[in-house]
Structure 1
C-alpha cells in the first residue's frame, strides 16, 4: 500500500462544521489519504467515524489510516507508541528527532511524519520548529518522510527539496478544506 504525497490529518476541534463534512470536502478537492486522529473519542464512536470516512474514501481509491496501534490495516503511531503485533499492512510513525527516526527505521516503518517543520499551534512541546535544514537532516535518515507542521502551499517546494516524499496537513485543511487543490497543485508543480 503506497500513500499519496498529501496526507490529511483530522482534528474535529478545528473544523467549522462536522468532521465528516470537512473530510468529504477535502476528498472532493482531491485528497486521497486521511489519518483519523480523534483518539479522545470512545472506541465505538471512533469506529463509527472510521467507517464513515472509509465510505468517503472508497469510491476514489483512497486510504484511511488510523492513529494508534489498534487493529486497522493502516496505522499511524505516535513517537512513543509500541509497534503493533501482528504487523499491519501499513505502519507510519511521528518523529521529532534523529533517535525517533532511527527507531522507526529499525522497526521497519513504511513512512514517518517529521515535525514540526514550521511554527504551528498544534505541536506544542516538541521543541522549536526544525525549519527546512532540520527537515533535510532528518529526512536523510528516514523511511519515506512526510513534512508536518505549519506547512502552507507555498512551503511545499522547499519541503520536497529538503527530502520529504510529501506533506501532512491538519489545521489549514480542517479549517478550510477548499485549500486542498492548492496543496495538490504545489505538489504537482514541484514534481514536474
Structure 2
C-alpha cells in the first residue's frame, strides 16, 4: 500500500512540475534627467529608452500596453510580451519576421474588420524584423490616427505606437518608432 501511495504522490508532483508555466515579469522604469530619457522595461521581454520625459498614464491588461504621455501631451504605448501570448502563435510556431508579419496581419485585420478603420503599411524591414503601419479613420465621431511598429526580438513581441498628434510630422513619428525599436 505504501508503494502505491508513494507512486501516486510522485505522479502528482510530476504533473504539477510539467503544468504550463507562466513567466513572471518585472516592470519598471523612470526618467533619467542626466540623459534626458525615460527608461521602460518588462523583464525578461524587453526595454526601451524614450527620448525626453514621459509619465505613465494607464495600462491595458489585455494588450499589455503601458501608455505614457510627454510634457507636450503626446501619447505613446509600449508592450513587450512573449510571442506565445498571441492566439495566432500559442505554440511559438512563428518566429522572427514570420511572427512580425503574422502579428501585423492579425492586428490590422482587427482594426479593419471590427473597429472599421483604414490601415496602411508604412514600412517593412525583413532584415531588422519590423513593420510600421497605421490605423486611421473615424470611430463614433472621433478621429483615430495611430502609428504602430511591430517586431520580434529574442522570442519577445515588441509593440510601439503613437496616438493621434499633429505635433509631429509623419516622418518624425516613423523616426521615433524606429529609434525605440532599434535603439540609438
Q: Same fold (TM over 0.5)?
A: no
Structure with more relative contact order (C-alpha pairs < 8 Å, separation 6 or more): 1
Pick the structure with greater CA Rg. 2
**Which of the two has greater strand per residue?**
2
**Which of the two has greater helix per residue?**
1
